[in-house]
């Protein structure tokens, strides 16, 4: 359903494998072009992202254990670290592709449910975790570009107040 709502899943399901490959290729180009270049700006950005992901670790346990319990084995801990690195990379690439937005605290709270849903449906991604990562990025990117969500992550508080006012009117 998320893939349809975010206009990622093709109208013709037979094209799904091609869509996955195309999105992965595009994402891999981003990861190549925007690899961490050890600049002070990139170091600060990645540090901020990592810090937020670590604070969200309790949410990420659900990727390892359906009950959300902490990792019980070294293998589970390594698997969790791999997921954390993928989510960090998604947020880093998003920040580099969208320099006006960059990374803002709270983006981690949005990408984790997207990544979780995609990972939970790994079977429709041909059991390929790279597809899960790339399509999670694509979903996150589309969500921000095609919606007014970016207005809530703007330092201009009048935009947020306007959106909240519209929502209040709708509720009334």
- Average pLDDT for runs of 10 along the chain of length 172: 92 97 97 77 92 95 92 96 97 94 90 97 98 98 78 58 70 74
* Residues with Cβ within 8 Å of residue 79, at least 6 apart in sequence: 63, 64, 71
- Establish how many alpha carbons lie within 13 A of residue 96's alpha carbon, considering only the half-sphere containing its beta carbon: 25
Q: What is the pLDDT of residue 39?
A: 73
From 105, 143, 101, 38, select the one nearest 93 (Cα to Cα). Answer: 101
SS3 146: helix
Q: What is the pLDDT of residue 101?
A: 86
Q: What is the pLDDT of residue 146?
A: 82
């Amino acid at each position: 359903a998320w893939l349809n709502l975010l206009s990622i899943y093709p109208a013709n399901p037979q094209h799904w494998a091609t869509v996955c490959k195309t999105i992965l290729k595009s994402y891999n180009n981003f990861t190549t072009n925007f690899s961490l270049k050890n600049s002070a700006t990139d170091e600060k950005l990645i540090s901020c992202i990592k810090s937020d992901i670590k604070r969200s670790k309790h949410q990420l346990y659900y990727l390892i254990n359906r009950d959300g319990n902490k990792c019980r084995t070294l293998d589970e801990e390594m698997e969790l670290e791999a997921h954390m690195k993928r989510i960090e990379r998604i947020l880093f690439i998003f920040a580099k592709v969208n320099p006006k937005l960059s990374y803002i605290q709270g983006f981690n709270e949005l990408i984790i449910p997207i990544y979780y849903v995609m990972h939970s449906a790994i079977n429709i991604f041909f059991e390929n975790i790279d597809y899960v990562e790339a399509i999670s990025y694509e979903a996150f990117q589309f969500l921000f570009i095609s919606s007014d969500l970016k207005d809530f992550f703007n330092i201009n508080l009048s935009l947020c107040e306007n959106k909240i006012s519209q929502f209040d009117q709708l509720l009334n």
